[in-house]
Structure 1
Amino acid sequence: MRWRSLGRLLLLPVQMAWCVLRAAASLALPARARDLRGDTVLITGGGRGIGRQLAREFSRRGAKKIILWGRTEKCLKETAEEIRQMGSECHYFICDVGNREEVYQRAKAVREKVGDVTILVNNAAVVHGKSLMDSDDDALLKSQHINTLGQFWTTKAFLPRMLELHNGHIVCINSVLALSAIPGAIDYCTSKASSFAFMESLTLGLLDCPGVGATTVLPYHTSTEMFQGMRVRFPSLFPPLKPETVARRTVEAVQENRPLLLLPWTMHLLVILKSVLPQSALEEIHRFSGSYTCMNTFKGRT
């Protein structure tokens, strides 16, 4: 038994090197891009911001049907009309993803009216934007229900059918703040860190499920209404991302079945530095990351 354990220990570096080489080969020789023409895409928070841009990008790349979920009918209706003018079939449903029963009811209505969803994009999110002591308890709960638990309900609603069909993809529009928190948005950073763990566990669980994948997108500060209160240390060096860029890169990642996407690529360096620098240097990282000052009580892409 002792020799067997020793043998496994000696083989570990070889196995790790093989995994690294295989991953490098997959990057150099990406798999064939997914053809979206047979897909039905559901986007939560699809009425505005990144959600609206995602609907445009999926439509532009030929998605068969697009479904929008959100809480503001005016925005949903406007986006749906625009997508139809682009030539894609588009439907919208008013739904608060933080409400479990409402999610299950709307999911049933989607299946009956539109059909099976093959790509689910969990994009809906809100930010309260205050310190812990200044935050209202109900507001904190709302952030966690929408940003984190909402993904549990939507995924439970649509993943089983994807597994039956051996065809599906779960997407999470997360944030780099899940890996490097900032002051002034404790509700958002906490919920996004939880969301990241959810997606990491889900992605690993889907490794043995043929035809079904997952993608987590971690963008930096994006120029949407939601983050007007974001303050960055070097705005000229690190300007906010455009929602169109986030949408385009996200759809590309789905087509390539990439499990993780950080935007821009320099965020990889931020994460690495945070993991290797001593505690005394973390203050500089926080200053680099920025801070959030709430402009309104609540903002989000819902």
Structure 2
Amino acid sequence: MDLRTLCSVLLLPLQILCCAVKAFVRFFIPGKRRDLSGDVVLITGGGRGIGRHLAREFAKCGAKKLILWGRTEKCLKDTCEEITLMGTECHYFICDVANREEVYKQAKVVREKVGDVTILVNNAAVVHGKSLMDSDDDALLKSQHINTMGQFWTTKAFLPRMLELQTGHIVCVNSILSLSPIPGTIDYCTSKASSLAFMESLTLGLLDCPGVGCTTVLPFHTNTEMFQGMRVRFPKLFPPLRPEVVAQRTVDAVRTNTAFVYLPWTMNALVILKCILPQSALEEIHRFSGTYTCMNTFKGRT
């Protein structure tokens, strides 16, 4: 082992410790937040649910322009009008992110009519809510195409210009189910796990790209119509998140350039437990919390 390699090996623990200390300090003393006044924000699935709350929060925090993408015009129009009344310029476009050609076409329209997107929020998602054997093949494909592949197309459409400008941010509204799957929603869990791997790889790939960052948000069950009917065993012990809280934490993570956010913070413990506990112990946790049967009452939308 040469001297340079030996020094690198000896310095690694110190570098890791330094990073841990910095992260600990930033948790209690947040750094300067990004000024959004020059940013053009595009939100997929921006017409309702978390997407609508994200639009409101970005507008409150002073974003220059907002662009909403989705499949339902009425929802997009209603949200767009609300944001406009708040005093922020807002546009909407009908776009199914599962359709690659449509994404590229609408991305070109956005650049021509609105300008360069500097913050891309991949929020669009669907859930089928059935077991594998009860699931329709087309519905399974739909989940993968929207929840996972849609991020490939949108990121490929907007990231190159961010790299040219040396300013930009890619956001993914993921789910804690990408790390801790449950029965009855195999399509959603699989697609979100793929989405998480995509964001982890992208985040590492952009480390040496000045001005361009990534944020992945992994929330617990959120109280929107998407997962309507889902019931955990102890709702007071494990209450669903409010969508406005998810939106606030997401925008704050963008402004502080935070790579990964677990909501609520107790989900960090779940990730740690999954790494150290045997499968049998994890199964007992699932039984206790009722996650094995929580989708039995599911009646949300796809």
TM-score (normalizing by structure 1) = 0.94
Provide the residue aligned with 1:283 in structure 2.
Answer: 283
Preserved contact between residue 262 and residue 268 of structure 1 (Cα < 8 Å):
yes
**Contact kept in structure 2, 1:180 and 1:289, CA below 8 Å:** no
| 1:202-259 alpha-carbon deviations (Å, 9 max, x no partner) | 1111111111111000110101001113221210112111111111111111111110
- Helix, strand or coil for the counterpart of 2:69? strand
Specify the alignment match of 1:247 in structure 2: 247
What percent identity do the matched residue pairs reach? 74
Determine if the alignment matches structure 1 residue 54 to structure 2 residue 57. Answer: no
Q: CA deviation at 1:12?
A: 3.7
Q: Which residue of 1 aligns with 2:164?
A: 164
Deviation at residue 32 of structure 1 after TM alignment: 1.0
Q: How big is each residue's C-alpha offset from its partner over 1:13-32, in whole Å with a ceiling of 9 and x where there is no partner?
A: 33332332233344344331
Aligned to 1:232: 232
Distance, in Å, in 1 between the alignment partners of 2:142 and 2:245 is 28
Q: Letter of the aligned partner of 1:243 in structure 2? A: P
Deviates more, 1:58-67 or 1:267-276: 267-276
What's the C-alpha RMSD, in Å, of the aligned pairs?
A: 1.7
Match for residue 301 of structure 2 among 289, 299, 302: 299
Q: Hey, what's the Cα distance between the residues in 2 that align with 1:11 and 1:201?
A: 25
After superposition, the Cα gap between the structure-2 partners of 1:136 and 1:250, relative to the gap in structure 1 and judged at 3 Å, is: same
- SS of aligned partner of 2:37: helix
Cα distance change, pair 289–154 in 1 and its aligned pair in 2 (3 A):
farther
Aligned to 1:37: 37
Task: State how far apart, in whole Å, the 2-side matches of 1:214 and 1:11 are.
Answer: 27
Unaligned runs of 5+ in 1: none
Structure 2 unmatched runs, 5+: none
Q: For the residues of structure 2 that align with 1:3 and 1:42, how far apart are their CA atoms?
A: 49
Using the TM superposition, name which of 22-31 and 246-255 deviates more.
22-31
Q: 1:87 to 1:289 in 2, by over 3 A?
A: farther
Structure 1 runs (4+) deviating above 4 angstroms are: 2-11
TM-score, normalisation: structure 2: 0.94
Q: Any idea what SS the aligned residue of 2:234 has?
A: coil
**Quick check: 2:230–2:298 contact (8 Å CA) kept in 1?**
no
- Counting only pairs closer than 5 Å after superposition, residues 1-302 of structure 1 correspond to structure 2 as 1=1, 8-287=8-287, 288=289, 290=291, 291-293=294-296, 295-296=298-299, 299-300=301-302
